Amino acid sequence: MSHNSFGRLFQVTTFGESHGPLIGGVVDGCPPRIALGESDIQPWLDRRRPGQSRFASQRQEPDRVRIVSGVFEGVTTGTPIGLLIDNVDARSKDYSDIQDKFRPGHADYTYIAKYGLRDHRGGGRQSARETAMRVAAGAIARKVLGAEVSVRGAVIRIGEIAADPARWDWAEVERNPFFAADAGVVGRWEELLDGVRKAGSSIGAVIEVRASGVPAGWGAPVYGKLDADIAQAMMSINAVKGVEIGAGFGAAALRGEQNADRMRAGNDGRPVFLSNHAGGILGGISTGQELVVRFAVKPTSSILTPVETVDRQGRDTEIVTKGRHDPCVGIRAVPVGEAMLACVLADHMLRHRAQCG
């Protein structure tokens, strides 16, 4: 029951801190005979990498992944896949002045409350740097899922400005620095983020991740529900404060007639749903429709505005968090959210196969 593992049959364990020599991960339970190389993982890491636009941290990390076990002659062997990424551009001096002060919104105080000490360099284990390993594991999960299952995400809201779902275009996502699926919102977000960045401030966002090609039947009733595991996965991402599936919080305002996804006979014997308020999951089990997941990311807690806080000695003080931070950490959460959904799906694919053949 490791605190640092995720998944049951497709299990990901990570280790490493922001300013240690490296971060690492172990993917256990991966089926054998899947073609896998570093070039299958690197492109996904590159999408998450900082330093690629003025709207992300300027830390320069090549995030070059090495596969150190579990792959032989280009295919998985069924044994644990060890993954290592060196920390290259860790500047510990940036953090030396915050050694004794608790940054509001960060886990500085809670780590001390729990463990009595913490690795304060760059947030240590709390750093979002750990999410690089999630993205690497997610790349492997995609290989397990195969080409039929596609997992994609986009930012749908930054601050008060929402993308227009009617203009959704997946191709647009890779063309702008916001992972926006709506070309029309890009200019407005640029303007918003430039203002936020110049003010030394930060802002929150909402991300939507969808999976298509998931067959009906994955998941389980009661506690092993697919949506429950997705909720856990998304809420485990740094700075996430909310998760919803399908109609989500909006379902609370609906009548039963509005919410029910009507079914009609399909050509292949399987039903066709006339809507997708369920977000592809009923009773914890996939319906065969597209999975639709949204999660909310709070504004980066590292800001240049001085904020009241206390120090380790319990005295009142103020703090300004210098360093190289994302003005909207929600943007780079897109590849992370995709990766987590891919991992949950790979896990449930194996779990379903175990019980139901």
Residues 245-274 that bind a second copy (CB under 8 A): 245-266, 269-271, 274
Residue 246 near residue 277, CB atoms below 8 Å: yes
> Least distance in Å: CB of 54 to a second copy?
17
Write the DSSP symbol of residue 248: G
Residue closer to a second copy by CB (options 2, 39) is 2
**Dist CA 193 CA 18 (whole Å):** 25
Binding mask 44-83 for a second copy (x = CB under 8 A): ----------------------x-xxx-x--x-xxxxxx-
By the rule CB under 8 A, 22 interacts with a second copy: yes
**Number of other residues whose CB lies within 10 A of the CB of residue 185:** 23
Binding mask 96-135 for a second copy (x = CB under 8 A): ------x-xxxx-xxx-xxxxxxx----xxx---x-----
By the rule CB under 8 A, 91 interacts with a second copy: no
Question: Which span (54-62, 88-96, 155-163, 174-182) binds a second copy, by CB under 8 A?
Answer: 155-163
By the rule CB under 8 A, 324 interacts with a second copy: no
Residue 283 near residue 221, CB atoms below 8 Å: yes
By the rule CB under 8 A, 323 interacts with a second copy: no
- Report in angstroms the alpha-carbon separations of 113 from 108, 231, 318: 9, 26, 20
Question: In a 3-state reduction of DSSP, which class is residue 352?
Answer: helix
Residue closer to a second copy by CB (options 60, 305) is 305
Rounded CA Rg of the chain: 21
> Least distance in Å: CB of 333 to a second copy?
11
Q: Which of residues 325-354 bind a second copy (CB under 8 A)?
A: 330, 350-354
Question: In a 3-state reduction of DSSP, which class is residue 342?
Answer: helix
- Report in angstroms the alpha-carbon separations of 91 from 20, 88, 222, 238, 337: 11, 9, 46, 21, 27
Question: Which span (21-29, 37-45, 50-58, 170-178) binds a second copy, by CB under 8 A?
Answer: 21-29
Residue closer to a second copy by CB (options 184, 250) is 250
**Dist CA 66 CA 83 (whole Å):** 6
By the rule CB under 8 A, 149 interacts with a second copy: no
> Least distance in Å: CB of 53 to a second copy?
19
Retrieve residue 103's tokens.
């940054």
